Amino acid sequence: MNLISSTRNTPLLEVKNFSLTFHSDRKDRQEPLTQVIRQFDITIREGEIMAVVGASGSGKSLLADAILGILPENATCKGMLHYKGEPLTEKRRKHLCGDQIMLIPQSLNALDPLMKTGKQVQTVMKGKGKKDGQRAVFRKVGLPDHVSNQYPFELSGGMARRVLIATAMVSNAHFIIADEATPGIDPHALGEMVTFIKHLAMEGKGVMFITHDIETALQVADKVAVFYAGETVEIANVEDFSGTGETLRHPYTKALWNSLPQNGFVPLEGHQPLADEKGKGCAFQPRCQRATDICLQKQPESRIVKAGMVRCFHA
Amino acid sequence: MHYKQVMLFITGKAVKLATLLIAVSILSFFLISYSPIDPVQLYIGADMTRVSPEQRENIAEYWGLHESKPQQFINWGKAVLHGDFGTSLLYRSPVADVIAERFLASLALMVVAWLLSGVVGFLLGIIAGMRQGTWADHVIKGFCFTLASTPAFWLALLFLMTFSVWLGWFPVGLGTPAGVLAEDVTWVERLRHLVLPALTLSIAGVANVALHTREKLIEVLASEYIRFAKAKGEHGFVLVWRHGLRNISIPAVSLHFASFGELFGGAVLAEQVFSYPGLGQAIVQAGLGGDVPLLLGIVLFSAVFVFVGNVMADLLYQLIDPRMRRSGVQ
Ligand SMILES: Nc1ncnc2c1ncn2[C@@H]1O[C@H](COP(=O)(O)OP(=O)(O)OP(=O)(O)O)[C@@H](O)[C@H]1O
Ligand code: SF4
Ligand SMILES: [Mg+2]
C-alpha cells in the first residue's frame, strides 16, 4: 500500500488491515463480539501530520489506545501494527510509550488533580536537570515559572492545554498522537494547538491528529484519513479538499466536505451503521447515492487513486 | 493557610463544639431526669432498711432534688463549667477520674480496632478495585456486604464461642486475668484480652472503608488522567503509587476519621459482650444503675470524642487535597 509514495525510508507508523474487537463479557464468551474497527490502514512518516477524521464514537480514541497498548481487557486486535518497521509488541511498547511515542490528550482531565503540573511533566523526562528542562519548555509554550508549582485546578483551560503540549515537547517523542475529544475546543485554543503541532512536525516528529471535525483536520494536517464505521475509507491530501470536492475519492468524504457551511451545507442523510448493523457489502452503501449491485455484495478493497487511498468500487 | 483563615477555622469549630455540647447536655439531662429511676433509692441500695425517711429526705435535699428541673440543670451546668462533673454513684469517685481510667482502657481497644479496620479496609478496597470483576473482587465484596449486615454483638458471641470456648486461644472476657494484681499483669496478657474485642470492633469499619475505597479506585482507574499516565508508559505499582493513592485516600481518610461515632457505639457493644472494662461498659452500667453524673459525663465526653474525629477528618482532607488547602478553609 505504498500509495503515499515517498523517497523516505521506513515509515514511523504503519497500520494495515487492522481490526479491533470487543468481547461483550470476559466470563461469557458465547456472547457475540462487537467489531469496532476493521480494515484500518494508515501510514505516517517523519515530519508528517496525518489527521484521522471520524464521527463521535467511531473508534478513534480506541485506535489511539491500541497503538499505545492501553486497551481495555475485553478488547483484542488483529492486523499489522508496525513502528519504525517492526511490530509494536508489548515488550517494545514498555520502553517506547511515554518516550518515543507520546499522547497529547485533549481533555483537561488528563492532568492528575493532586499533582503539581511541573512534576507531572517531569515524569516523562529522564536523567538530570529535569526541573530546568521542564521550566524551559514551559517558557517555550508561554507558561510562567510559577505554574510549575500549581495544581491543575488553579490553571485556566488554555494553560492546562499548554501543560499537556509541554509534556509531549519535553519527551523525545518521535511519534505523537493528539486525541481531540468530540465536543472540540474553542477556536482560539485550537489555533494555538495547531501552531504547536505544526512546530512539532517541523522538528521531524510524526503526528497523528485525531478529530471529529474535518475543518480542524484541514487546518492542521498534510493528509487526512477518513474513518467511517471503523474503516479507513479514504486517505486524501489536504489539497484534494477544494471546490465541490471533485478531486476527492470517496462518496463519504465528498459528502462531509459538501456538508460544510461554506460548501453548500448539504446534509448527509442517515447514520453510521452500528457494529451489529454492518452487512457484507460496503459499509457506506445504505447512504451512498452511487451504490450499485456490487456494493451490496462485496466489501471494496483499498485502492490507490490519484496518489491517495480509497475504499470504493466506483471511485 | 493564612493566619486569618486559621483563626476563622478555630473560631468556627469552637462555636460548633459549644452549641453541640449545650444541645447534648440539655437533651440528655432531661431524658435522664424523666426516667423512672429514683437516684436516692439507687444510692442507698441495699442499705435501705437502715436508712430512715428523714435521712433520705436529707440526701435529696443535699443533691438539690427538690428544686425545679431547669434549676437542677443550671446547678449541674455551673459545676461542669467549673470543671466539676460530680461524683459517680456507682464508683464513689469523681466522674472525671472514672472517665479517664475507663477511657484509657477503651482507647487501647479503639486505637487497635481503628487502625486495623483502616489498614485492612484500605488494602481490601485496593485489591478489589484493581481486580474489578474478578473472583477476588467478588469475594471481597461479598465479605464486606456480609460483615456490614452482621450485628456486632452477634459476631462478638461467635468469636467468643469459636476462639475462646472452643479453641481456647483467647480468654473469655475481662481486660486482665481474674485474681491477678493489676501490677502483675503482663503486656502479653493484656494483649490477649484485647484481641477479640478489637477484632469485633474493627470488622464493621473494614466493610465501610473497603467498599468506599474500591468504589473510588474504580472511578480513578477509569479517569482520563490514568489513561494518560498509562499512555506515558506508567503501569502497575508506579501508576497506583503516583496517581492512585493520594486520589483514593481522600474518601478513605475522611470517612475513617468521621467514623469515631460508630467506633464508640461499637465499643459499647463489644465491651459489654467481652466484659471489657472500658468506657463503653461504664456507660451501660451508668445507664442501668441510674448513675446520672457519670452518664452525663460520658455523654459529654463521647460528644467531644466524635467531634474531634470530625475535625481531624476536615484537617486531613485539606492536607491531602490541594483544592481544599489552596482555595481556603470553609
Ligand atoms: N470496553 C468496551 N466494550 C465495548 N465497547 C466499547 C468499549 N469501549 C468503547 N467501546 C465502544 O467503542 C466505540 C468507540 O469509542 P471511542 O471512544 O474510540 O470513540 P471516538 O471516535 O474517540 O469518539 P469521540 O469523538 O467521541 O471521542 C464507542 O461507540 C463505544 O461504544
Ligand atoms: S463502494 Fe459503492 S456503496 Fe461503497 S462508497 Fe463506493 S459507491 Fe458507495
Ligand atoms: Mg475520543
Q: pLDDT per residue over B185-197, tens digit each?
A: 667 777 777 788 8
Q: Is the dihedral of CA B245, B251, B256, B258 positive or negative?
A: positive
Q: For residue B230, what pLDDT is reported?
A: 92
Q: Please state, in angstroms and rounded to a whole number, the distance separating the CA atoms of residues A215 and A233.
A: 18
Q: For residue B280, what pLDDT is reported?
A: 83
Q: Do A114 and B321 touch (CB under 8 A)?
A: yes
CA distances to A86, A305, B30, B308 from A91, rounded to whole Å, are 12, 37, 73, 51
User: What is the band of A57 on the pLDDT scale with cuts at 50, 70, 90?
Assistant: confident
Query: Helices A60-68 and B224-231 sit at what angle, rounded to 10 degrees?
Result: 40
Atom of ligand 1 nearest to the CA of A60: 21
* A56 CA from centroid of ligand 1 (Å): 8
User: What is the band of A32 on the pLDDT scale with cuts at 50, 70, 90?
Assistant: low
Q: For chain B, how many helices (H) and strands (E)?
A: 15, 0
Per residue in A173-198, pLDDT (tens digit) is 899 999 886 566 777 878 888 888 99
Q: B131, B132, B225, B249: best mutation site toward chain A, by most A Cβ within 10 Å?
A: B225
Grouped pLDDT means (10 residues each) for chain B, 330 residues: 79 90 86 73 66 74 72 80 77 83 86 91 91 89 88 82 78 65 67 81 86 91 92 85 87 84 85 83 82 84 89 83 65
Residues of chain A contacting residue B242, judged by C-beta atoms under 8 Å apart:
112, 115, 123
Interface residue B138 vs chain A (CB under 8 A): no
Residues of chain B contacting residue A23, judged by C-beta atoms under 8 Å apart:
none
The residue contributing the CA closest to ligand 1 atom 14 is: A59
Residues of chain A contacting residue B321, judged by C-beta atoms under 8 Å apart:
114
Interface residue B247 vs chain A (CB under 8 A): yes
Distance of CA B243 to the CA centre of its chain: 32
Distance of CA B224 to the CA centre of its chain: 38
Of B224, B233, B322, which has the smallest distance from its Cβ to A151's Cβ? Answer: B322
Tell which A residues from 30 to 69 touch B, by Cβ distance under 8 Å. 64-65, 68
* A300 CA from centroid of ligand 2 (Å): 8
Residues of chain A contacting residue B231, judged by C-beta atoms under 8 Å apart:
64, 68, 70, 97-98, 102-103, 105
Tell which wins on pLDDT, B176 or A9. Answer: A9
Contact B197, B156 (CB under 8 A): yes
Query: Helices B135-148 and B187-221 sit at what angle, rounded to 10 degrees?
Result: 120
Interface residue B184 vs chain A (CB under 8 A): no
For residue A27, pLDDT beyond 70? no
Distance of CA B4 to the CA centre of its chain: 32
Interface residue B322 vs chain A (CB under 8 A): yes
Of B260, B125, B143, B133, nearest to B201 (Cα)?
A: B260
Mutate to test the pocket of ligand 2, among A253, A290, A298 (most ligand atoms within 8 A of CB): A290
Per residue in A73-103, pLDDT (tens digit) is 888 899 999 999 999 998 898 888 888 999 9
For residue A2, pLDDT beyond 50? no
* A285 CA from centroid of ligand 2 (Å): 5
Question: What is the ipTM, given to two decimal places?
Answer: 0.87
Per residue in A116-149, pLDDT (tens digit) is 999 999 988 888 888 899 999 999 888 999 999 9
Residue burial B108-146, b: 16+ Cβ < 10 Å; e: rest: bbbebbbebbbebbbebbbbbbbeeeeeebeebbebbee
